[in-house]
């Protein structure tokens, strides 16, 4: 027992200097933080005064210049485009742009002057991007904010949307008015989109028409989409989805050919997609309904392929080296 008490006392004595040192380090650390905070607080009014004197544009230009001086930039050609940015960032975004260009190339056929030599600056920081955007008044330059996450899906979508936005001003005027301010370019959202049509979100879409549309009533689909001659201020994901579908069906060069079209949105979409509006609507709806929970896992072809694989694995397990005794 005496030994035990002695050992405990030794331990406490040994630990004391460490604890004191840690406390000392902690208090030094706190003082340093306090000092830095005070320094920052004193700088804030000075910075505000400078910003009041400068115009926003001049400040943005200065910010962009300082970024350009600080960060060495790299230039990479992707198709007809140039990517300009930090080397590591450009290397990463290059793959996304190559994928996006592969997808959108047919739509840009005949619009060479729109895309050739266009510069994209992929920027990670949203503040820097907005500053650069203010000063990028030159035509042919686009600043894109790429999120920090290295998620390839987000990267590809961002690049695709950037190219799609280039295409949008070259669609017929009535299609632009019909689709409104919504972006085009995202194609992998069918399973979410179907719910925008059927499920009332706020009071944007009456669900009865949406339901009828999903059940194959093409007249209801025309209503939901505001076709043939609807207009939209803000755009909505449903119209965007249909426009993407029509662009997918369009032949190479169809956008350039119908660029100056003067018909209503329905007629122009027919010309663009190269099929009657009802056929386009039917194809679009079929694509969407295939993503419903009722179809997603138990569609006939999926069931058959799964059963075939079960049989293959079952057959493999029947033949094994385990029992070959000889």
Partner 1 sequence: MSDMYRQLLNLHWKTVRWPLAPVILLAFGLPLFVLRLADVFGPAGTRVPPAMVIHMQGEWSFVFPFLALITGVMIALTAWSWDHQGRHVYALSLPVSRGRYSMLKFAAGMTMLLLPVIALAVGTMAGLAATPVPTGLHAYPLSFVARFLLAATIVYAATFAAASSTVRTTAIILVLFVLVVIFGTVFVSFLQEALHDHSIVTPIELLYTALARWPGPFNVFGGNWLIIDA
Which is it for strands 119-123 and 81-85: parallel, antiparallel or unpaired? Answer: parallel
Cβ neighbour number for residue 110 with a 10 Å cutoff: 15
Q: Reduced to 3 states, what is the DSSP secondary structure of residue 325?
A: coil
CA distance 185 to 107: 12
Instruction: Choose between 236 and 267: whose C-beta lies nearer to partner 1.
Output: 236
Among the candidate windows 18-26, 104-112, 162-170, 311-319, which touches partner 1 by CB under 8 A? 311-319
- Shortest Cβ 325–partner 1 spacing (Å): 8
- Shortest Cβ 321–partner 1 spacing (Å): 6
Please, which contacts does 132-138 make with residues 24 or more away whose CB atoms are closer than 8 Å? 132/60, 132/64, 132/67, 134/56, 134/57, 134/60, 135/57, 135/60, 135/61, 135/64
For residue 18, state whether it binds partner 1 (rule: CB under 8 A).
no
CA distance 296 to 282: 19
Out of 194, 255, 280, 285, point to the residue binding partner 1 (CB under 8 A). Answer: 194
CA distance 200 to 211: 10
Instruction: Choose between 194 and 277: whose C-beta lies nearer to partner 1.
Output: 194
For residue 317, state whether it binds partner 1 (rule: CB under 8 A).
yes
For residue 189, state whether it binds partner 1 (rule: CB under 8 A).
no
CA distance 113 to 11: 79
Instruction: Choose between 80 and 253: whose C-beta lies nearer to partner 1.
Output: 80
For residue 53, what are the CA distances in angstroms to 44, 46, 47, 219? 15, 11, 10, 60
The residues near 172 (Cβ < 8 Å, ≥ 6 apart) are 258, 259, 260, 261, 262, 263, 265, 268, 271, 272
Q: Which residues inside 49-108 make contact with partner 1, applying CB under 8 A?
A: 76, 91, 94-95, 98
Among the candidate windows 54-62, 171-179, 229-237, 301-309, which touches partner 1 by CB under 8 A? 301-309
Count of helices and strands (H, E) across the chain:
16, 4
For residue 200, state whether it binds partner 1 (rule: CB under 8 A).
yes
Out of 14, 214, 251, 271, point to the residue binding partner 1 (CB under 8 A). Answer: 214
For residue 225, state whether it binds partner 1 (rule: CB under 8 A).
no
Q: Which residues inside 98-157 make contact with partner 1, applying CB under 8 A?
A: 98
Among the candidate windows 9-17, 53-61, 235-243, 306-314, which touches partner 1 by CB under 8 A? 306-314
Between CA 57 and CA 65, with CA 62 as vertex, the angle to 5 degrees is 125
Out of 74, 217, 248, 291, point to the residue binding partner 1 (CB under 8 A). Answer: 291
Out of 144, 184, 198, 281, point to the residue binding partner 1 (CB under 8 A). Answer: 198
Between CA 288 and CA 119, with CA 273 as vertex, the angle to 5 degrees is 95
- Shortest Cβ 188–partner 1 spacing (Å): 12
- Shortest Cβ 111–partner 1 spacing (Å): 23
For residue 6, report the phi and psi dihedrals to the nearest 5 degrees. Answer: -60, -45
For residue 292, state whether it binds partner 1 (rule: CB under 8 A).
yes
- Shortest Cβ 159–partner 1 spacing (Å): 12
Instruction: Choose between 178 and 242: whose C-beta lies nearer to partner 1.
Output: 242
Out of 85, 210, 237, 266, point to the residue binding partner 1 (CB under 8 A). Answer: 210
Binding site for partner 1 (CB under 8 A): 76, 91, 94-95, 98, 191, 194-195, 197-201, 207, 210-211, 214, 291-298, 301-303, 305-306, 308-310, 313-314, 316-323
């Amino acid at each position: 027992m005496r030994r035990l008490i002695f050992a405990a006392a030794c331990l406490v004595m040994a630990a004391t200097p460490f604890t004191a040192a840690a406390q000392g380090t902690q208090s030094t650390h706190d003082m340093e933080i306090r000092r830095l905070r005070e320094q920052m607080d004193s700088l804030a009014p000075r910075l505000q005064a400078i910003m009041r004197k400068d115009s926003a544009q001049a400040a943005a230009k200065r910010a962009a210049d300082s970024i350009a001086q600080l960060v060495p930039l790299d230039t990479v050609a992707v198709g007809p485009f140039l990517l300009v940015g930090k080397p590591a960032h450009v290397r990463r975004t290059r793959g996304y742009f190559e994928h996006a260009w592969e997808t959108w190339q047919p739509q840009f056929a005949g619009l060479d002057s729109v895309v050739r030599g266009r510069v994209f600056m992929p920027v990670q920081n949203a503040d820097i991007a907005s500053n650069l955007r203010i000063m990028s008044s030159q035509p042919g330059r686009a600043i894109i904010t790429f999120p920090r996450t290295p998620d390839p899906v987000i990267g590809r979508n961002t690049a695709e949307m950037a190219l799609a936005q280039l295409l949008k001003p070259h669609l017929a005027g009535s299609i632009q008015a019909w689709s409104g301010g919504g972006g085009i370019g995202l194609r992998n959202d069918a399973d979410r989109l179907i719910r925008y049509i059927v499920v009332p979100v706020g009071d944007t879409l009456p669900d009865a028409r949406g339901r009828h549309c999903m059940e194959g009533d093409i007249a209801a689909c025309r209503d939901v989409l505001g076709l043939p001659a609807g207009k939209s201020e803000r755009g909505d994901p449903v119209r965007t989805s249909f426009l993407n579908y029509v662009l997918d069906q369009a032949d190479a060069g169809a956008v350039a050919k119908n660029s100056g079209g003067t018909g209503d949105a329905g007629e122009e979409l027919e010309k663009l997609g190269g099929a009657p509006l009802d056929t386009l609507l039917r194809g679009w709806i079929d694509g969407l309904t295939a993503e419903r929970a009722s179809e997603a896992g138990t569609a006939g072809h999926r069931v058959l392929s799964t059963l075939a694989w079960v049989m293959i694995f079952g057959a493999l397990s029947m033949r094994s080296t385990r029992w070959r005794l000889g």
